[in-house]
Amino acid sequence: MHKKPGQSIDELTDHFFRHEYAKMVAVIGHYFKTENLNLAEDIVQDSLLQALKHWEFHGIPPNPTAWLYSVAKNKTLNVLKRGNINRKVIAESISLSSSDPEVSIAENFSPHKIADSLLEMMFVCCHSALSREARVVLILKTLCGFNISEIARAFITNHETINKRLVRARKALKENQVQFEIPEQDLGPRLSSVLEAIYLLFNEGYNATTGDHLIRYELCLEAIRLTKLIVDHPKFESNTTAHALLALMYLNSARFETRLDSDGNILEMSQQDRSRWNTKLINQGLFHLDEIRNAKEIGIYPILATVAAHHATAATYEDTDWRSILTLYDQLLTFDNSPVVKLNRAVALAKVHGNQQALKALAALEATGALRSYAPFYATLGSLQMEEGFYSKAEINFRHALQLTGTTPSTKALNTKLAECIKKN
């Protein structure tokens, strides 16, 4: 990246923390392996801090990226020469095209090598030895450049909790001797693990579970960026699962600007101004969905992406092809028979066969107790009951949802519906 006219030092360093941090950690991490991954992160952070101080005093260089990489390379060489870590680890790490560490590091900062290193780091962060929660935290820290405070805010928790998760994750990587590599064996399951972690990251951004904001845009953007790294790599460019996930995220992101009104109130899809949906993102989503048209197997992400495409391409809410969407949810149940999928299917069922059928399906789901702590279940149940004029029942379910919801916009929306029920009772 070259400096843009008028770009401040703060803006530029923020860009580097977001976009260059992961690249440098991924490349430098090779030299210290997962057992010393924190050392690679320290080197990168020191390089970024040195850049900030130097540029404030001497001005931003013509090519700040090259300047920063040069500093990072020199710091890595200094650590290697001092031999402050296990010599055996260093020797094994520099088994590249050159036995000269300086030449080796320079080679690994080439664009092609950086792309490979980032993918290898994804597989490290999503190793099966880590919990699903730990994978997402490690992705945010190592691949997205989030600091501890930002991760804690994303999960609405404290520094200590995030630090403990990171310590446990790094300990697991060390104990399992996880290697920096794009695995040759069990590639399918390993890639599925990576995509699942990215999808969890996107969902936390798209429908935040706690806090003042319904959408955490930065989490969604990072999830899209990481998936693009996968589909743009020659090894995965024809992987239909990755293309489907990217399509799903693009199509859902296209509605971002219309999900809330100017006062921060949630707008349901029927209330959204479709002329403000992002056409560019919709087209990108449809492009990646088209990439899987000849796929021999279908899975969760292709089905969900196709559902999103039906919503994105309907001229009006009334034009939505709910019958096709219901059929897609029936297909999805063969892959994912989870209560949340059944809840989403009930919404489509209501549009096709009426609210009474949907209420029966939700009653059966409620009897299982699987969603007793899930606010959207009671919000959906209450909305269908309110449409049918069952205001007393709807009031009970809206109150229940309010006890479980964690975001300010959702609380406001539920209170509005609750007030309407009370008024009509």
Range among 7-11, 183-187, 208-212, 325-329 with highest mean pLDDT value: 325-329
Write down the pTM of the prediction.
0.82
Contact between 254 and 312 (Cβ < 8 Å): yes
Quote the pLDDT of residue 10.
Answer: 63
Distance CA 412, CA 395 (A): 15
Quote the pLDDT of residue 213.
Answer: 64
Instruction: Using the structure block, give the residue that is written with the tokens 């971002």.
Output: 256
pLDDT higher than 60, residue 99? no
**If we measure between CA atoms, which residue out of 258, 264, 259, 205 comes closest to residue 408?**
264
**Overall average pLDDT of the 252-273 stretch:** 91
Distance CA 279, CA 234 (A): 28
**Overall average pLDDT of the 33-42 stretch:** 82
Average pLDDT along the chain: 85
Domain boundaries, the chain: 1-109, 115-233, 373-425
Quote the pLDDT of residue 97.
Answer: 39
pLDDT band (50, 70, 90) for residue 397: very high
Least reliable range by pLDDT among 54-63, 328-337, 375-384, 393-402? 54-63
Backbone φ/ψ region at 370: left (φ over 0), alpha (ψ -120 to 50), beta: alpha
Distance CA 170, CA 134 (A): 10
**Overall average pLDDT of the 253-265 stretch:** 89
**Overall average pLDDT of the 83-93 stretch:** 51
Instruction: Using the structure block, give the residue that is written with the tokens 């030299």.
Output: 31
pLDDT band (50, 70, 90) for residue 227: very high
Q: Percent of the chain having pLDDT more than 90?
A: 40
